[in-house]
Amino acid sequence: MSFCSFSKECDDNAYTLVENKFIHKYLPEADGFAVKVYLYGLYLCKNASDDFTVTAMAEVLKSTPQKIKEAFAFWEDYDLVQILSHEPFAVSYLPVRSSVGRPKRVRYEQYADFNKELQRKMQKVGKFVGYNDSLKYMQFLEDTEMQPQAFLLIAEYCITKQGDAVSPAYIFNKAKKYIRNGWTTYEQVERELNNCNANEKEVLSIFGVLNISRTPDETDYALYQKWLDLGLEPKGIFVASKLLKRGGMTALNLSIEELAEKSKFTEKEIVAYLEEREKLVSITFRIGRKLGVKIGNPATFTDEYTEKWLSYGFEDSSLLDVALFCLKTERGDFSQMNEIIEQLFANGVVSKESVKEYLKGKNDGLKLYAKIREISGAVAKNAVGLSMIETWRKWNFSDEIILEAAKRSAGTTSPIPYINKILSDWKLAGVTNVDSIPNAVPMSATKPKNDYTTAIENVNAKTDREHYYAIKRERAQSVADKFLKKANANAKFKEVNVALSKMEITLAKAEVFEPNKLPALETEKQELIKTRFAILKELGIKDEDLKPQYECKKCSDTGFLPNGTACNCYDKV
């Protein structure tokens, strides 16, 4: 069935007839193209094949399907046709004699000067405002509160920005945004456009730094004005974008809002703050590696922990030492490390020397605890067991006496409680050295017989295995950190490395939103990789040196193969 057809009410004439009422009442209201569409559609009602479409009609009339549809929409306002469907497009002709519709009339003479000026502006870029577009512009002014002269200012702005690519839709969208903001008078629109033009140089500079290729619009200028209203200096805004480098205006807005919240407004204040922030993030990542924690977004950890710890007076190296201690004692996350830091701070243990002294005692305790585990057997490494070492030392027992008690606990189900019972009895007995230890084991600490089970042995073996691999991974990471520190001491390498990291995010976004930019971005990435390789070569560093070189290539010093089975590298120790 053709997309044009007679309604049931129309006479089934053998000829293409045009009613006189259409000619004297409606034809004068329309432009030539709209009349052509109506008449040709009328002809199609009786003479077209079933597969004749609106696209075919557009080819015959040397136009586009969209223009054809707009013409039929024009006649629908007069009740001369009814659009039955938009996809596929279908129209039903109605009898002219019963039509009552009449579109809202716009008095052309009222907008004569407006149309003349708009035509003049559009012709500067080779554009011509047709009758239908002219009707749309006038109808827009009729339906909104925008003044004609204000609209002309917006049109001129759009023409300047878009050139010969400017379209009515683009101009209408700009005008609607201004209306939503309440800018409808000539004075209001002129003020806002002046703000855009006044800040154009600065916004274009920011676009250059952020590698934004599109043309700035009023949203960008509004953001810039917002930043100025927050109190930031123009130089401060520029340096913030320069340090951000990538991420777009939205990311820059978040960064600048943070700066305003921290009362950083001048160039000097912003540079100092952002450089300090970068250092904090770097420390956070290093602490995370020591703890064995994989960090995705460092902001949360930096704000909640790192910044606070440094404000307490702890040095970077002290925090890294504490983090390593936490890993050794199976307290491998930021919250558990925070508990230790809070304890140190509460006890006034803050300086680098005092923290080292504190950790030395703790590490000595770890060594003693390892010997106890070798002697006693079924001893799990946990915070409770380690705290017992501190308690026994507070009882003034030497390591020699503690190890003697451990020997007597060997083979028991729960060695630590048994050692504690023995030492408690010796404390009451006034034991001060090995020679004064009673020969008989106190009845209160009678050793259970034959209850040292295989299950307990397996638990201890698992703990030993995990500790073994954790130390190996930490050693490999430490070596890689030294090479990375040497590489990062080179400012150019650091800049290229940061650019490569951000490039991955840029590529991911482009793959989804702007795939046409992928080839250029890939080329840029390869250039960065070549530059990075050349710098490393000059420094005498291999790329693989920057990554942990694990002893076991099969399990990467984790103890487990990719399929989940245990690696045999531990059995060879």
Stretch 209-220: mean pLDDT, rounded? 81
* Residue 82, SS3 per DSSP: strand
Q: Which tokens belong to 100?
A: 């009552």
Mean pLDDT, rounded, for 417-428: 86
What's the chain's length in residues? 573
User: What value does the mean pLDDT take over residues 150-174?
Assistant: 89
- Give the pLDDT confidence of 95-149 residue by residue, as tens digits: 887 666 555 555 667 788 899 999 999 999 998 888 778 888 988 898 888 999 9
Identify the band that residue 380 occupies on the pLDDT scale cut at 50, 70 and 90: low
Using a 10 angstrom Cβ sphere, with 0-12 exposed, 13-18 middle and 19 or more buried, the burial of residue 537 is: exposed
449 versus 16: the higher-pLDDT residue is 16
Taking Cα atoms as reference points, which of 317, 387, 310, 380 lies closest to residue 354? 317
Average pLDDT score, the chain? 82
2-11, 181-190, 249-258: range with highest mean pLDDT: 181-190
Instruction: Please determine, for residue 180, whether its predicted confidence score (pLDDT) is greater than 80.
Output: yes
Give φ, ψ of 82 to 5 degrees.
-130, 125
Going by C-beta distance under 8 Å and a sequence separation of 6 or more, which residues neighbour residue 557? Answer: 469, 472, 473, 476, 550, 551
Position 452 scores a pLDDT of: 39
How large is the average pLDDT for residues 482-488?
Answer: 86
Calpha distance 210→193 (Å, rounded): 23
Residue with the larger pLDDT of the pair 528 and 30? 528
pLDDT above 90: percentage of residues in the chain: 15
pLDDT of res. 107? 61
d(CA 119, CA 126): 10
The residue type found at 110 is Q
The C-alpha atoms of residue 420 and residue 408 are separated, in whole angstroms, by: 11
Angstrom CA distances, 8 to 11, 92, 95, 547, stand at 8, 10, 10, 80
d(CA 234, CA 228): 7
Paired tokens of 41 = 């559609």
Say what the pLDDT of residue 292 is. 85
pTM above 0.75, yes or no: no
pLDDT surpassing 50 at residue 446: no
| Cα–Cα dist 316/310, whole Å | 8
Contact 522, 516 (CB under 8 A): no
Q: What pLDDT digit, counting tens, does each position of 1-50 carry?
A: 456 665 645 555 567 888 888 888 888 878 888 999 999 999 888 777 77
Structure tokens at 351: 């300086």
Q: How far is CA 318 from the centre of its chain?
A: 32
Cα 184–169–250 angle (5° rounding)?
75
- SS3 of 85, please? strand
414-417 own/partner pairs: CB under 8 Å, 24+ apart: 414/378, 415/372, 415/376, 415/377, 415/378, 415/379, 416/372, 416/376, 416/379, 416/384, 416/385, 416/388
Structure tokens at 140: 């827009």
Rounded to 5 degrees, φ, ψ at 89 are: -75, 125
- What single letter denotes the amino acid at residue 82? Q
Helix, strand, coil % over all residues of the chain, rounded to 5: 70, 5, 30
Position 443 confidence tier, pLDDT thresholds 50, 70, 90: very low
Lowest model confidence (mean pLDDT) among 340-344, 396-400, 462-466, 515-519: 462-466
What average pLDDT does the segment 237-259 reach?
81
DSSP H or E stretch at residue 5: strand 4-6
Q: Is the pLDDT confidence value at 456 over 50?
A: no
The 3-state secondary structure of 146-199 reads CCHHHHHHHHHHHHHHHHHHCCHHHHHHHHHHHHHCCCCCHHHHHHHHHHHHHC
483: pLDDT confidence band, cut at 50, 70 and 90? confident
* Alpha carbon of residue 376 to chain centroid: 52
Amino acid identity for residue 513 in this structure: F
Long-range contacts of 203-207 (CB under 8 A, 24+ apart): 205/238, 206/237, 206/238, 206/241, 206/249, 206/252
How confident is the model over 117-129, as pLDDT tens digits? 999 999 999 988 8
Give dist(CA 291, CA 296) in Å, integer.
Answer: 14
State residue 64's pLDDT score. 92
> Looking at residues 460-475, what average pLDDT do you find?
71
Neighbour order of strands in the sheet with 89-93: 4-6, 89-93, 81-86
* Phi, psi (degrees; rounded to nearest 5) at 66: -65, -40
Q: How far apart are CA 384 and CA 168, in angstroms?
A: 75
Q: pLDDT above 70 covers what percent of the chain?
A: 87
Q: Which has more pLDDT, 92 or 455?
A: 92
Residue pair 387/394 in contact (Cβ under 8 Å)? The answer is no
Higher-confidence position of 300 and 244 = 300
Question: Which residue in 547, 453, 455 sits closest to 497, CA to CA?
Answer: 547
